[in-house]
Structure 1
């Protein structure tokens, strides 16, 4: 019997295999969770938040307590004969220790802050934007080519550049990875486009999403629960207003992607 889980932060943090994935401790767990997030991109934010918590920086602080300091100081005072002036000096030493502990704590805080900044920079999101009338050619880390039309934006987590979000319009030429068959995902407000290696065009303007396929095959998953599989020369259109799918044949040489030049 399949049990449905609520994939929240608590779920990931209490899963031993997920912890292994986050720390890279078990190859089977690493493979499983890499595949899982590819197939469940809607949980990406919570997924990486949990990873950040698990792999966060841990400091083993082993500072002497105030009781330990006082005890050590008392033993010293018992062994040596000191006058009042010497006692005053020892009090100054104790005050100095307090200052040193405070300074050490401040330095530690700086180190924690610096390490946290470094960690989150390494696990940040890359964003590419265009202005009106601007068209740019991009090469993603996996070798996929993207032509981004004007007033558009793509973004992806640096840990997973084959899972990206699109606002506006873009043309994709996805590079396949035969060794792993890693999927490539494009996510819009309406749907998810799942591909292995292909060329296609996505437009999210005018309160709808249009997808035109040039080569290969792709699988679409819409937020309303509907699915569609495409072959070259087809267009799928989904309207936010009507919540209906339009599936038809088109001429891929027509203006769907002529803006690419």
Structure 2
């Protein structure tokens, strides 16, 4: 009997309670463009009701203010007091008032900065093994990969400017506005991307810093040493950064493979087991411990669908004649005999 994909089934799927057969039915159903739109609509509604990340800035600020009311000295170890002559320990009343005022000003300044960051920016975050679709106020779409963070201004976005900050990895589909306003993706890796309307992927992962352009045109602004440089990318361009920040530009015939993770697909092309270990660490927070140095250089090619780290490891082990054991957050991999 064919499984009918309903709203209730999709909600079960989003909550992680769908069976393997139900997942397969949803995969087939979502191949249709109209179905995908419906999928994303229900996903957005589900995420509003079940937020995966809630910033705790307000709670932290309230705790901080409570500590200040109750006395900050409770948070610290009382220092040892060395007895001296009484005259040496007395402070002039004017100095005492100045020190109290300075302390209060410092506390208010820190509290204000802490709260302003929360008030001015909305932060989206994904945990290990999680992806998330975000629709921005200007109509652009961003899909966050696992273990990633996107920061978006709460006010003036799309009118005054369109600048977001990314840590991790994300795929962008940018809407072109009538006034040709630029869209800027800032990173913490000494490069940023300037676009008008296009589709591209950005990764700021420590080992795999890269930008892949699917359609349109973007301008990459980066630093090599102390020098600022610019590079205009064309569709199919792949830019990577080495550990010293040097740029390498090449062409890829299939840029879409770099965002296959949006569909829970992993595409490997002569990818070493050591490189796959980096993926497990960055996307799932797991260490892949390879027992043999030669085994670390084994290469794997093919496309594999997996929704969890366990599913991906099981698929790779079956396809590559490997065995593995799980110990906490470590997966020990060896060759089958």
Provide TM-score, normalisation by structure 1. Answer: 0.51
Confirm or deny: 8 A CA contact 2:194 2:218 kept in the other structure. yes
Secondary structure of 1:257's aligned partner: helix
Say whether residues 1:260 and 2:262 are aligned partners: yes
Post-superposition offset of 1:157: 1.8
The match for 1:237 is 240
The match for 1:176 is 176
Confirm or deny: 8 A CA contact 1:213 1:231 kept in the other structure. yes
Matches within 5 A, 1:78-227: 120=116, 124-161=120-157, 162-178=162-178, 180-188=179-187, 189-224=189-224, 225-227=228-230
Post-superposition offset of 1:238: 1.6
Secondary structure of 1:256's aligned partner: helix
Structure 1 runs of 4+ with >3 Å offset: 119-123
Secondary structure of 1:258's aligned partner: helix
Cα separation, 1, equivalents of 2:196 and 2:176: 6
Say whether residues 1:249 and 2:251 are aligned partners: yes
Point out where structure 2 has 5 or more consecutive residues left out of the alignment.
1-111, 264-337
Cα separation, 2, equivalents of 1:195 and 1:160: 18
Provide TM-score, normalisation by structure 2. Answer: 0.40
More strand by share: 2
Cα separation, 1, equivalents of 2:259 and 2:143: 10
Post-superposition offset of 1:125: 0.5
How many residues are matched?
145
Post-superposition offset of 1:242: 2.4
Confirm or deny: 8 A CA contact 2:214 2:256 kept in the other structure. no
Q: CA RMSD in A?
A: 2.5
Point out where structure 1 has 5 or more consecutive residues left out of the alignment.
1-115
Post-superposition offset of 1:237: 1.0
Post-superposition offset of 1:156: 1.9
Secondary structure of 1:206's aligned partner: coil
Cα separation, 2, equivalents of 1:131 and 1:211: 22
Cα separation, 2, equivalents of 1:221 and 1:245: 11
Post-superposition offset of 1:121: 8.6
